[in-house]
Amino acid sequence: MGKWLRDAMLMYDRNITLSLRSPIWVLVALFQPICWLTLFAPLLSKLSDVPGFPPGGGLTVFTPGMLMMLGIYSSAFVGFGLIPEIRAGIIERFQVTPVSRSALLLGRSLRDLTVLLVQGALLIGAAALLGLKADVRGVAIALVLVMLLGLLMSSLSYRLAIAIPREDALAQVVQFLTLPLVLLSGVTLPLTLAPEWLQRAAIFNPFAHAVSAARALFLGDLGNREIGIAFALFSLLAPLAAWRAVAAFKKSAA
Amino acid sequence: MLRAMLAIETRGLCRRFVSRKGTVEAVKGVDLQVADGQVYGFLGPNGAGKTTTLRMLSTLLPPSEGTAVICGHDLRTAPERVRESIGYVSQGGGVDVRATGRENLVLQARLFGVSKTDAFTRAAEMSRRFQLEDFVDRMASTYSGGQKRRLDLALGLIHRPRLLFLDEPTLGLDPQSRANLWEEVRQLRAQGTTVFVTTHYLDEADALCDRLAIIDDGRIVAEGTPDELKQQIGGDLVTVGIAGPAEHAERARTLLAALPGVDAVETADGDRLRLRTKRGELLLPEVVRALEGDGLALQTLMLGRPTLNDVFLRQTGRSLRED
């Protein structure tokens, strides 16, 4: 365990150093959600009177959705960072050392989660500047939730990158998989506005529960049922996906 | 006891790749014995199974069948112990170009469990030894091919392995860098490090290796010291060109085959005759006398030693130089 932690921290340090060397990418990933916040969220101000619109006003409804969208998109593409390193033989060079295989991959995931946490905090800061009012404890818990979601997405992304080590093909697959999940989770407009069939379909989408849970958390409704459902789902799915990614990584060059 | 002195011992090592088009057997039962402290060459054309074998020996690829003991550790049951004992420099290297040379070196040492302070000391040692000092703190993306190759080698050696695997180490290097690398390999041997090197340059194998194995189509077809392999060809080669019609060549063939010390006569390069002998220098005057005595006109006469290319040609039916 001591060796594992040491290995994981070595990989974490290395990857954080590389991220800090080009911090611009941390901000680029933030650009989309901030665009949504500034250019789209104002459209909601008149919608809050429409029947079915959740309580709390435009930004309080909208920011949690953007936080979860950030979690999905920021993490879904981390696999792209692995491909050039596989191609350059860096991963292979690491694999011929006694370093733990799982630490090699999870050290990277840990970096991805750190980046996500910074991005999430910046996003909420930006929303606060725009006038967001939210429950502080709830926001903190929502950040934990988005980290679990990020671990799930980054693990899936690494799993895919190992199976499809080509950027162009991987981009298609990731887009193909994420778009329906995002649309069917109500990140932009709440699913409470949706027709019944769409609401039913969303029940099977874990991200829909994450978004509902985050909205409840921002409102300070900490006893909301959706929070329990979301945490149960993601505490199960995220480690499972991480475990599958590590297994694939080990098998890729046993 | 003998076992302890072997850096590599494999038995029946096989690797199959299963794809949609069927099963490809890349390595078909390789038996190798590499003694400690040797420079061992692994020779073969592209696609012969060199890199696949190397990837198996370095724990990157599990064998489909067979066993291998590397530095006393079983490849299947103790791959971590194997990794601790070996260094591996792949064909393309594995330098992280977004980091400096020193960062690459320090991380590599630390992955082997070396403490932070010691890792910096070793990185400094390595940059001295491989003349990286002038640029070791620059981003590796600015390095030339030769500089990058030296860093590759330093990365493969920073944990002081007993056994170093080099996959086509001089591919794409300029002659100067190539000579430097040869020198480095010789120094490693002098220090007692075993080096297992794949190559398809025959001069490299000849100049550098204590022993070598030739692999073709997934099988070892010859093994021994470069001299042993060349002697298997049957000593020297005397090539004789006869002027005049083809029947003259036929007469010469019968005549020369009867000379004492001629092991075989073959036709080479169209109308020339090639004699295999163990006493080339002594045979030359006898060839001249015999042909003159029979009134045959000698056009050319050449004495040659077999090269590894002749060995390769004989074992595989192909010339390695054609690749």
Whole-complex ipTM:
0.88
Q: What is the DSSP letter of B139?
A: B
pLDDT for residue A254: 44
When scoring A95, A96, A99 by the number of chain B Cβ atoms within 10 A, the one with the most, hence best to mutate, is: A96
Q: Which domain holds residue A166?
A: 2-45+57-253
pLDDT at B4: 52
A97 interaction partners in chain B (CB closer than 8 Å) = 83, 108, 111-112, 159
Any domain includes A213: yes
H runs (alpha helix) in B72-225: 79-85, 101-111, 116-129, 145-157, 175-190, 202-208
Q: Residues in chain A whose beta carbon is closer than 8 A to a beta carbon of chain B?
A: 3, 7, 10, 14, 17-18, 21, 85, 88-90, 92-99, 253-254
**Three-state secondary structure call for residue B123:** helix
Taking CA–CA distances from A22, the nearest residue in chain B reads B98
- In 3D space, the residue among B261, B270, B322, B317 whose CA is nearest the CA of residue B290 turns out to be B261
Q: Quick check: is A50 in a domain?
A: no
Q: Whole-angstrom Cα distance, residue A177 to residue A173?
A: 6
Q: Which positions in chain A touch B90 (Cβ < 8 Å)?
A: 89, 92-93
Q: Is B155 on the interface with A (CB under 8 A)?
A: yes
- Distance (Å, rounded) from C-alpha A245 to C-alpha A152? 10
Q: Indicate the angle between helix axes A2-21 and B101-111, nearest 10 degrees.
A: 170
How far is Cα A98 from Cα B82, in angstroms, rounded to an integer? 9
3-state secondary structure of A154: helix
- Encoded amino acid at A176, one letter: F
Q: Does the residue A184 lie in any domain?
A: yes
Return residues 90-109 of B near A (CB < 8 Å): 90, 92-99, 103, 107-108
Give B83→chain A minimum CA distance, Å. Answer: 5
For the entire predicted model, the pTM comes to: 0.84
Question: Does residue A91 contact residue A82 with C-beta atoms inside 8 Å?
Answer: yes
| Of residues B62, B83, B92, nearest to A97 (C-beta) | B83
Q: How far apart are CA B158 and CA A117, in angstroms?
A: 36
Question: Which residues, given as ranges, of chain B have pLDDT below 50?
Answer: 1-2, 322-323
Question: Both tokens of residue B272?
Answer: 């020339």
- Residue A51 covered by a domain: no
Listed by number, the residues of chain B in 161-220 with a beta carbon closer than 8 Å to a beta carbon of chain A are: none
B139 touches chain A (CB under 8 A): no
Q: What is the pLDDT of residue B274?
A: 81
| Partner residue facing B93 (CB), from A21, A89, A253 | A89
What type of residue is B69?
A: V
Q: Which residues of chain A have pLDDT under 50?
A: 254
Listing DSSP states for A45-82 in one string gives GGGGGSTTPPTT-HHHHHHHHHHHHHHHHHHHTTHHHH
Q: Is residue A229 part of a domain?
A: yes
Quickly tell me which residue has 């190759």 as its tokens: B149
Residue A52 lies in a domain: no
When divided into structural domains, chain A yields a total of 1
CA-nearest residue to A85 within chain B is: B96
The answer to the question of residue A160 being in a domain is: yes
Cβ–Cβ < 8 Å for B159, B87: yes
Does residue A98 lie in a domain region?
A: yes
Contact B18, B207 (CB under 8 A): no
Predicted local confidence at residue B319, as pLDDT: 65
- CB neighbours of A86 closer than 8 A, spacing ≥ 6? A92, A165
The residue of chain A nearest to residue B78, with distances taken between CA atoms, is A98
End-to-end CA distance of chain A: 21
